[in-house]
Structure 1
Amino acid sequence: MTIKNATVLVVDDDTDVLTAVRLLLKTEVMEVVTEKNPQHLPSLLAGKRFDVIMLDMNFTSSINTGNEGLFWLRRIKELKSDAGVIMITAYGDVDLAVQSLKDGAADFVVKPWHNDRLISTIKDVLRKRAGIREESSAATQSIIGSELLGESEQMQAIFYKIEKIAPTDANILVLGENGTGKDLIAKAIHQHSLRSAKPFVKVDVGALTDSLFESELFGHVKGAFTDAREERIGRFEAASGGTIFLDEIGNISLQQQAKLLSVLQNRQVTRLGSNTPIPVDVRLICATNLPIAELANENRFRKDLIYRINTVEIIVPPLRKRGRDILLLADHFNKMYSGKYLKPLLSFDKSAKDKLLSYSFPGNVRELQYTIERAVIMAEEEELTAEDLLFSPIESAMDEREEPADFKLSAVEKNTILKVIEKHNGNITRAAKELGLTRTALYRRLSKYDI
């Protein structure tokens, strides 16, 4: 949260102090509420939510021990207010300052203060409070693994499935578009499995040529081919006892599929150039961006291999279908890159949030991550606006090329008209009535689409 959006309550029995603070903050924050009597705090907090409370330490001039301030600080905490409390005193007592911080105060200022220092203190309290809220919110989110998070119904279903299948040794097939986090799903399954203390080995099998496929996955002996100067174990052996994750499984050839199937059936590998089989004990997780219908095409993928790798399938939704998870992930990446690049924690204004929620994200979570990283690096203010969020022109161009919106709309309208006219055997009057158009409007569309 920025100071411009903050609501501040000032509690002090000195009218001059209340006036001075109100005049100072009225152009800096969204709203300033002042109160002379701390006895009114419970009713104030019951009727309104405050981001910052400035609380005087002394309300009885003859006492000046600070005990009243500490009493009302504790009372604020008892009333479950999450406002950041800044204690005010005319006495610069370090012990008193330490005590107020121990009792839950966010900061401590001494009267008379410098205006710039007071505004800076409020900003710091708001920033710390935003960080605490993020951590508190994260604790209630379903987080599986170290990076996979989401609150949407689709992701909750995935988290539930992970918790159910992770302790088993079932082979898993993860389906989803590029950039949706299929590798994080695989890692989360491993982390929650009985094999979590053993290796997790990832292989992008779609990038392996025929000549490298066997050597990388199953290993080779010295002299097996020209550059085999020493013996080397393959990825299956390296993952033995743990989990092997084969990414982009849908891109391997039928010949490679046959070799992989043999290993999965026999639970053993034979290094290239050797005749000695080596037993392996692995949990298999595979992933592909191909739809399951394409994997069912026997000209592209062996049916017996599909059965072998697909004991349970997990379908990861594209980011555009995950609703407000977009903002949750944006906050996560904002915090990550603010720390990495030593920047203050930024916030998103309404225009930025609206832009994130309305964008289709053809590159999914990966594109969102790069977008936020770029925004954090280039940010000059403490708040990100829509103008700060620059989406990848490459992804956007690909998205437009693959699914031009105007073409899709025209095609749907044309096909609908054709089907309705066919349904009514060419009777334009009945077709127009069902389409909710006048005859003239329907004739215009027939001319438009050259029907």
Structure 2
Amino acid sequence: MSSTWDILLIEDDPAVARTTEILFRLAGHRLDIATDPGTAYSLLARRHYDAILLDMNFTPGRSNGEEGLACIARIMADHPATPVIVITAHSGIRIAVTAMQAGARDFVMKPWRKDDLLAKCAAVIAPPGERRASSRRPSGVPMLLGDSRAMAEVRALIHRVGPTVANICITGRSGSGRSLAAGAVHAASGNTDISPSRIDLRDSEQWRLLDAAHGTIMLRYPDRLDTISQARLLDRLLPGLRCISVAESVEPLSPALRRRLCTLEIAMPPLAARREDAVPLARHFAQIAGETYGRASVRLTPAAEAIVTATDWPDEVRGLAAAIERAVLLSDDGVIDAAAIRPYTTTPLPSGSDALPFRLDDAERLMIEAALKEHRHNISRAAAALGISRGTLYRRMAQHGL
């Protein structure tokens, strides 16, 4: 196996990032740069890294290390085996000690010497024979992205109950990430070496898999079964078999089947209930699509991000991902503007109507402000990006005091 390291650097200072990238490249290693924790979580969802170098502050004027400590907590929960080396200033020795107590393996002080940094990485990275040869994140170890309080609660619950043998039912709207959460529960169990049987209960042919099931089993759509089929399912679930189920609701389940499948219910929040997660998710999907379709760098404009936030996506996170993928595929320069996303956001406008296809609230104001800023207050271009007429834009600007 290759002795090349795959390193993730989380650093907002471009000069430090560039210097570190050159150092590792000249030493024969690969280094990805994330300028903020959100970008880092997106990269960690797609790739495996041998070590993470983490700056402790990202907001100008802040030096207490709280941002870095929060990032360590998230990494330790989702990637406990990945070593973290924190980077701090000479005055930050107390922060470095706290980071070590939180799970970091080592620390390095700025300005660091190149030999010291490489030596610290070598000390925490496993030998080549014990590391994965691929830089891609291994399948079956999913990550739930989003910094909203709702998603933080879901992740905390998964990390708490995943290592147990409790039967878990993941509920919520289709496309909200239920299957990903079910996979995260299994990943947290520590039994990832054994892939669970996955059975779609709507398919009668897949019921035969119940006979050979052992350990953990994943059941989809138990709430779609009639009363008789639910009773048959209950009879065929052997004692000691851990069930992780995916359903829209537990209400259609019989009391007996609910007791068997739902020791605990984890409800996936709809995207409309965690709008602050929409843009980080869109950026994540844009990077995945960019890699898939050979776009070296993909970014969303401010107006496009405003539309992403304001839209009630009909197919939840899955619908957002599909819209971003189409926009990336059809883009020529890797820039996703409002016009590229708008066709996939809501029902098309009625003929002759010039109303915005969004609610007239703060989200609409945000979109208009973003479009005006993006196009340097050129009304014609901003209106075109939003898919409305100049007159409508003027009226909306007046309404919102812009």
Instruction: Give the alignment's TM-score, normalised by structure 1.
Output: 0.48
Of 206, 217, 224, the match for 1:216? 206
Between the aligned partners of 2:242 and 2:333, the Cα distance in structure 1 is: 48
Displacement of 1:322 in angstroms is: 1.1
Partner of 1:101: 22
When residues 304 and 392 of structure 1 are mapped into structure 2, their CA distance, relative to the original with a 3 A threshold, is same
SS of structure 2 residue aligned to 1:202: strand
Partner of 2:360: none
Quick one: which amino acid aligns to residue 142 of structure 2? S
1:53-78 CA deviation, whole Å, 9 max, x = no partner?
Answer: xxxxxxxxxxxxxxxxxxxxxxxxxx
Between the aligned partners of 1:136 and 1:174, the Cα distance in structure 2 is: 26
Quick one: which amino acid aligns to residue 235 of structure 2? S
Partner of 1:69: none
Matched, 1:185 2:181: yes
Of 40, 45, 53, the match for 1:136? 40
Of 135, 144, 151, the match for 2:147? 151
Between the aligned partners of 2:12 and 2:144, the Cα distance in structure 1 is: 31
Q: Which runs of 5+ in 1 are unaligned?
A: 1-79, 88-97, 106-127, 220-233, 268-280, 398-451
Aligned residues: 244
Displacement of 1:373 in angstroms is: 0.5
Instruction: Give the alignment's TM-score, normalised by structure 2.
Output: 0.54
When residues 103 and 283 of structure 1 are mapped into structure 2, their CA distance, relative to the original with a 3 A threshold, is closer
When residues 330 and 195 of structure 1 are mapped into structure 2, their CA distance, relative to the original with a 3 A threshold, is same
When residues 185 and 103 of structure 1 are mapped into structure 2, their CA distance, relative to the original with a 3 A threshold, is closer
What pairs with 1:52-451 in structure 2 (closer than 5 Å)?
A: 82-84=13-15, 101-102=22-23, 135-136=39-40, 138=42, 140=71, 144=78, 145-205=141-201, 207-208=202-203, 212=204, 216-217=206-207, 219=208, 234-237=209-212, 239-241=213-215, 243-264=216-237, 266-267=238-239, 281-290=240-249, 292=250, 295=251, 300-392=252-344, 396=347
SS of structure 2 residue aligned to 1:362: coil
1:267-289 CA deviation, whole Å, 9 max, x = no partner?
Answer: 3xxxxxxxxxxxxx531011211
Which structure's CA Rg is the greater one? 1
**Percent identity of paired positions between Structure 1 and Structure 2:** 25
When residues 203 and 81 of structure 1 are mapped into structure 2, their CA distance, relative to the original with a 3 A threshold, is closer
1:367-410 CA deviation, whole Å, 9 max, x = no partner?
Answer: 011001001100123321110114547x748xxxxxxxxxxxxx
Displacement of 1:313 in angstroms is: 0.5
* Contact 1:84-1:129 at 8 Å conserved across structures: no
When residues 259 and 350 of structure 1 are mapped into structure 2, their CA distance, relative to the original with a 3 A threshold, is same
When residues 100 and 149 of structure 1 are mapped into structure 2, their CA distance, relative to the original with a 3 A threshold, is closer
SS of structure 1 residue aligned to 2:275: coil
Quick one: which amino acid aligns to residue 247 of structure 1? R
Quick one: which amino acid aligns to residue 373 of structure 1? E
* Contact 1:362-1:396 at 8 Å conserved across structures: no
Quick one: which amino acid aligns to residue 187 of structure 2? Q
* Contact 1:319-1:361 at 8 Å conserved across structures: yes
SS of structure 2 residue aligned to 1:150: coil
Between the aligned partners of 1:99 and 1:150, the Cα distance in structure 2 is: 28
Quick one: which amino acid aligns to residue 242 of structure 2? R
Between the aligned partners of 1:86 and 1:157, the Cα distance in structure 2 is: 32
Q: Which runs of 5+ in 2 are unaligned?
A: 1-10, 27-31, 45-70, 79-140, 349-402
Give the superposed CA RMSD.
3.4
